[in-house]
A and B are shown apart, each in its own frame.
Chain A
Amino acid sequence: GAVVSQHPSRVICKSGTSVKIECRSLDFQATTMFWYRQFPKQSLMLMATSNEGSKATYEQGVEKDKFLINHASLTLSTLTVTSAHPEDSSFYICSAPDGGRAKNIQYFGAGTRLSVL
């Protein structure tokens, strides 16, 4: 299947700093990517939809100024957690649907575990 690469896999930062997470589709183009947040032993909560060439759309309750999303190209979306605080500590995971070969099947990145001290 298609490959989605996510970096970094783990980040530990001090409160107040910003953290950037990258999500790349390696062997297909993704005009849309999704960002999820997963708390321990809980489900994946959709945060936002990243759209190449236009603004991201955020789910209700997600602060767009807190979680900045940039879809710079057809293979790269970034999520920046601005002024991170301990409550932002979580597992962040991206996904991209391969609209070409396997239409609308989602492929997930390996996730980023963010720990804010």
Chain B
Amino acid sequence: GENVEQHPSTLSVQEGDSAVIKCTYSDSASNYFPWYKQELGKRPQLIIDIRSNVGEKKDQRIAVTLNKTAKHFSLHITETQPEDSAVYFCAARHFNKFYFGSGTKLNVKP
């Protein structure tokens, strides 16, 4: 399979600051990298994704960058708001299966 590592496990920021979450993957065959936000007891929700032929993608306050050579990708949230507080998971698609990082609990302090 694929091995996805995610850091940090917890992240606390002040409202308005930026948050960065980083993931690495092990197999260059992985070609699609989604990010999910999961609130307590709820299903993961896709917030942004990036394909392996793209280096960066942005959607309002959220951006994702991908470095294929180094096999790492990052989630960037700018101007954080309290409602951004949740657990965020990165994932990698490897031969049509999805493997997830261990999650980052983001706490945005008002």
Contact = CB atoms under 8 A, between A and B. Distances in A.
Given A104-B93, A105-B46, A110-B42, A43 B98 contact: no
A47 to B, nearest CB: 11
Given A108-B43, A111-B43, A42 B102 contact: yes
A105 B48 CA distance: 10
A74 B7 CA distance: 37
B15 to A, nearest CB: 24
A44 B65 CA distance: 22
Contact of A59 (B1, B6, B42, B103): B1
A93 B89 CA distance: 15
A28 to B, nearest CB: 15
A111 B43 CA distance: 7
A89 B65 CA distance: 37
Nearest to A107: B46
Interface of A: 1, 32, 34, 36, 41-46, 49, 59-60, 93, 95, 97, 104-106, 108-111
Interface of B: 1, 6, 32, 34, 41-46, 49, 89, 93, 96-103, 105
Contact of B101 (A1, A43, A93, A106): A43
B97 A43 contact: no
A86 B94 CA distance: 32
Given A43-B89, A43-B101, A44-B89, A32 B44 contact: no
Given A42-B103, A43-B103, A44-B89, A108 B44 contact: yes
Nearest to A6: B43
